[in-house]
Amino acid sequence: MNAVEMVGVDKSFGNVRALDDMCLSVPTGSIFGLMGPNGAGKTTSIKLMLGLMKPTAGSLTVLGVTPSGDGAILRRRIGFVPEDFSLYLHMTGFEILQFNARLYGCLVEENVRRLQTVFELPLARKISTYSKGMRKLLGLYIALSTEPELLILDEPTEGLDPVVRSHFLGVLADETARRNLTVFFSSHILSEVEKICDTVAFMRSGRTILQDSVESIKERYRVYTVRFATGHSPRDVKDIAVHRERALGQDAWDVEVLADQEQARAAFADAGGTVLDVQSLPFDEIFLRFVEA
């Protein structure tokens, strides 16, 4: 069963369409990365999952349940770290953790102690004295301390220094390994997505343009240098989607496709092309190819 399933979800704000036929499947127990440029609809997708917003159309289930504004039972199973993480500044770190624990109806001391061995956050201090990075970390404490089944993180590492970011990602990986936790992760930082995510989805203009495992994307996205017979061009290629083409000379092209190599070679051959060279691209370059297309 998938932890999150979005099928044909639309979300409009007046005339602005934030999500347009959005489809997404987050496998249970995976670390899932949602990537896209600013305004792609990542935060809107997360708010829909939490029941903070309602979809205009389409179907959405989270942990097998349809989220709604009063979905308190569902939210008990979710830990969430928002992008713009504002907390009650008059509380101390301990107080907000206790407040959160009481809302979830659980004990958090053991989990907080485990996190403290890694981060040593000054929990006795008021949140108003915390830096942006410390607040983000406190957000992770809050989200993980209640042992959720699904952890939703919206740009969680923004503002963290590289060392803390590395520990942060380590804790996520440990928690996922320790129990059957699903992590839904939205980020601009491609290196960390590549490092920890099993599956990723690329978003552009409110829709998913690609969803696959990181390894599969890196394995399948290739730049083929192809020489086409006279009268043929990349436009003759069928069965595989050409993402980008660039003429190198009169009959040679660089053609970028996301496909199995055998399939790609067969498609080029059918279109009168001969593959001269095959190159791979770094993950961040592949991402840019998709979102800039």
Partner 1 sequence: MKALMWKELRENRMKIIIGCVLLSVIGAAVSIAYRFFEGGIPGISQIPPEYMDLIKKLLPDFSNVNAYLYSQWFSKNLQQVGAILAVVLLGGAVAGERELHTAIFLFSRPVSRGMILASKVIVLFGGLVLAVLVSTGCAVLGALIIGKASQPAFVLTATLHSVVALLTFASLATLLSVLVPDRVKAMLFSGVILIALSIAGQFKSLHWLNPLALFGSSDLIKHPVPQLVPIVVGVILSSCMLWTSYLILQRQEF
Question: Site residues (CB under 8 A) for partner 1?
Answer: 47, 50, 52-54, 69-70, 72-76, 78, 80, 82, 84-88, 90-91, 99-100, 102-105
DSSP for 103-169 reads HHTS--HHHHHHHHHHH---TTSBGGG--HHHHHHHHHHHHHHT--SEEEEESTTTT--HHHHHHHH
- The least distance separating partner 1 from the CB of residue 102, rounded to whole angstroms, comes to 4
Smaller CB separation from partner 1, 75 or 204: 75
Smaller CB separation from partner 1, 10 or 251: 10
- The least distance separating partner 1 from the CB of residue 134, rounded to whole angstroms, comes to 16
- The least distance separating partner 1 from the CB of residue 56, rounded to whole angstroms, comes to 11
- The least distance separating partner 1 from the CB of residue 83, rounded to whole angstroms, comes to 9
- The least distance separating partner 1 from the CB of residue 88, rounded to whole angstroms, comes to 6
DSSP for 41-57 reads SHHHHHHHHTTSS--SE
C-alpha 147/C-alpha 189 separation (Å) is: 26
Helix (H, G, I), strand (E, B) or coil at 292: helix
Smaller CB separation from partner 1, 87 or 140: 87
Smaller CB separation from partner 1, 142 or 190: 142
Q: Give all strands (DSSP E) within the chain, no chain letters.
A: 2-13, 16-27, 31-35, 57-62, 78-81, 150-154, 182-186, 199-204, 207-213, 221-228, 242-247, 252-258, 273-280
Helix, strand, coil percentages for the chain (3-state, nearest 5) = 35, 30, 30
Smaller CB separation from partner 1, 50 or 173: 50
Smaller CB separation from partner 1, 33 or 139: 139
Identity of the residue numbered 140: L
Looking at residue 22, the DSSP 8-state letter turns out to be: E
Smaller CB separation from partner 1, 91 or 288: 91
C-alpha 101/C-alpha 103 separation (Å) is: 5
Tally the residues of the chain.
293
C-alpha 112/C-alpha 128 separation (Å) is: 20
Structure-token pair, residue 89: 């500044």
- The least distance separating partner 1 from the CB of residue 130, rounded to whole angstroms, comes to 14
